[in-house]
Amino acid sequence: MTLIVERVGITAVASSLPAQEVTTAELQQRVAAASGLPLPPAMMTRATGIERRRIAGPEEYASDLAVTAARRALAAAGLDPLDLDLLVFASATRDMIEPATAHVVQAELGSRAHALDVTNACNSFLNGIDLARAMILAGRAGRALVVTGETPTRAMRPRLDGMVQARSALAGYTFGDAGAAVLLEPVPSGGILDVDSETHSEHWAVGGIFGGGSRHPRGDEHTYFTGDGTRLRGVFEKIGPGLLERVAYRTGFGWDDYAAVLVHQVTMPYLRRFTEIAGVPEDKLVITVPELGNIASATIGVQLDRVQPRLNPGDRVLMVGLGGGVSLMTMVWEVPS
């Protein structure tokens, strides 16, 4: 007899950060010295509002950050890796093109779950949660672990050929590294109440790391992040408020109905502008970008881990993801009563 599941919720959450910390001032000094360019003092800090970020060590991989977060989430839930039916590695970063990094994570954990990767830029983690929830609702899994490990700092250009290139490379200097994990299970109340998304793929070329696939299989030039941050921000500003209005209309929830609003964070000016347009109250935010930088799809997971200890049964959290491609995604989660 198949168990009919009506609600799926997040029952454990964890994150992980590399030990090494690099300030934006140090980063700019390194790039300026390697490039022989007289970069304006504090240029990167002023442009981004990012003071520092964590950077994975030379032998520390995306899977390592995911495994650390996964072990913490399983420990918090009192579960063994063999209790999992589904393991999703959901990240913009991966250890290698093939095989799926989920297998690297699973081998390290000692799980036997169905394992696969999901990737959609900085929305990867939310997409992974949505996929795991759908598989549980469909009866394909009873318990799922969704993990991410992000090491986008390896896509930073070590040197610049000139100030023109500096403008297209600046978005890459916002990055930081991190990992996160969430456990999903059927719950008697609350859970993930609403999911929505909007995709505008005509903007896919605005920014990205274009190497490693069939277009540019080899060559360092395409392994660095390149993009127009101003154009990308303009796209999100144009389409983001409409998505949030749709969620509010469908759920009936206003800002006062949320204990926290978790927003993907690229830079401080970017965050301020988006929340100003969307009308998000600042006291609902969990601001991480000044100390961690843009940690790609791990952003929502790290914020969720930080806010989780102060949440009470019945509290709701709105998650707002922004990803290159471009896509926006929202998820409403309620802590089970």
How many separate domains does the chain show?
2
Are residues 25 and 116 located together in one domain of the fold?
yes
- Determine, yes or no, domain membership for 3: no
Structure confidence at residue 9 as a pLDDT band (50, 70, 90): very high
Give 192-231 pLDDT, tens digit per residue: 999 999 988 887 878 888 888 888 888 787 787 877 777 7
**Residue 17: count of CB within 10 angstroms of its CB:** 22
Query: Is the CB of residue 127 less than 8 Å from the CB of residue 120?
Result: yes
pLDDT value of residue 1: 41
Q: According to the model, what pLDDT value does residue 208 have? A: 82
pLDDT of residue 3: 64
Quote the tokens at residue 201: 């793929």
Instruction: Quickly state the pLDDT bin for 238 (edges 50, 70, 90).
Output: confident
> Quick one: average pLDDT of 269-276?
90
Nearby residues of 203 by Cβ (< 8 Å), 6 or more positions away: 231, 232, 235, 325, 326
Answer with the residue of higher pLDDT: 251 or 3.
251
Model pLDDT, residue 2? 55
Closest C-alpha among 323, 272, 276 to residue 299: 323
pLDDT digits (tens, 9 = 90+) for 166-178: 777 888 899 999 9
Task: Look at residue 1 and tell me if it is in a domain.
Answer: no
pLDDT at residue 113, rounded to an integer: 98
Same domain, 46 and 137: yes
DSSP state of 201: G
Same domain, yes or no: 243 and 257: yes
Q: Which domain holds residue 234?
A: 191-334
Q: Are residue 54 and residue 148 in the same domain, yes or no?
A: yes
Considering the chain, what is the average pLDDT of its residues?
A: 92
